[in-house]
Chain A
Amino acid sequence: MSAAQSSLPRDDENGGWTGAVRRAVVRRLPPDELLPTHQPSYVRSWTYLFGVITIAALIWLLVSGTILALRGPQWWHHSTSGKFVNSLHYWGVQIFFVFMVLHLWAMFWGAAWRHGRGLTWVIGSIIFFVSIPAAFTGYISQQNFDGQWIAVNAKDALNASGVGRIFNPLNFGQAYGIHVALLPIALVLLVAMHIVMVRVKGVVRPLGAPPLSTDAEASQ
C-alpha cells in the first residue's frame, strides 16, 4: 500500500456527511432487521395480522384507483368491468378502514407506544386522520348523485368549521386532485415511515411479557 493510499480516511470511520448518514442508518436499522425471517413468539397471534391486511388493502386501493383514474367516470359507471373495478375500490376502502381500526384497537389496548415507540404511534394516528379526508374526497369524486348529495351536505359543515375557505367539496377538480394525488402520496409516505419505525424498534412485546435477548430494547 502506498503512502497516498494509507493517508486516505477509512470508509467506515469518515466519508463526510454521506458516510455519517450511512452509518446512522445502518446503526438504527441493520439490514438484517429490515426484512427479518424470525419474529418473537408473541407475534404468532391473529391480532398482528390487522396491520398487514390494512397495508394489503392500501396496495389494492392504489392499484384499483390507478385503473379508475386511467379509464375515467364514463367507464366506471357504464361498463361491466368498470363497475367491477369501482366496486373493488369501494370495498377496498371498507376493508382498509375496518382493519385499520382493528389494528388501532389492538395497538391501543397493548400500549404499543411503550419503549421508545411513541413516534410510531403518532405516525399511525396521523395515517388514521389523513385517511378520513382521503375517503371523503373519494366519496365526492364518484360522479353520481350519491357523491353530489354528500358534497352538498358536507359544504355546510366545512363552511361552518372554516375549512370552506380553502376547500370547497362542490369543486370537483379540487376534490379529485386531492383524492388521486396529494392524499395517496401522503398516505404512502406515512405508511412507509410507519413500517420503517416498526422495523427499527421491533414489534412491541405484550404487557407483562419479559424482554427478549434479541430485542433491541433489551440491549438499551
Chain B
Amino acid sequence: MDTPAPYLHWYFILISVPNLVLIVVMLAVFALALVAPFPGHGDSGAKRKR
C-alpha cells in the first residue's frame, strides 16, 4: 500500500496499472450486464401498446 503503483506509458498516455485494471473491469461488468440473463421469467405486468 505504501509503494507507488506501476505505470504504463505509451506515447502521451500515462496510466497506473490499478486504474487501467479498474477501467477494464468496469467495461467487463458493463458488457456482462448487457448480455447476462436476468433471473426470473415472464412479463412483469405492463402491457405493450400495439
Contact = CB atoms under 8 A, between A and B. Distances in A.
Given A210-B48, A214-B47, A44 B30 contact: no
Contact of B44 (A44, A50, A105, A213): A44
Contacts of B47: 212-214
Contacts of B44: 38-41, 43-44
Given A39-B46, A50-B33, A44 B40 contact: yes
B45 to A, nearest CB: 4
A208 to B, nearest CB: 13
A87 B34 CA distance: 31
B9 interface: no
Interface in A181-220: 210-215, 218
Contacts of B22: 98
Interface in A11-66: 38-41, 43-47, 49-50
A44 B46 CA distance: 12
B46 A38 contact: yes
A150 interface: no
A159 B33 CA distance: 42
A212 B48 contact: yes
A154 interface: no
Interface in B11-45: 22, 26, 29-30, 32-34, 36, 38, 40, 43-45
A46 B32 contact: yes
A212 B29 contact: no
Contacts of A40: 44, 46
Contacts of B46: 38-41, 212-215
A127 interface: no
Nearest to A40: B46
Contacts of A44: 38, 40, 44
Given A45-B33, A50-B33, A210 B50 contact: yes
Nearest to B34: A47
Interface of A: 38-41, 43-47, 49-50, 98, 101-102, 105-106, 210-215, 218
6 contacts: A38-B44, A44-B44, A46-B32, A213-B46, A213-B48, A214-B46
Interface of B: 22, 26, 29-30, 32-34, 36, 38, 40, 43-50
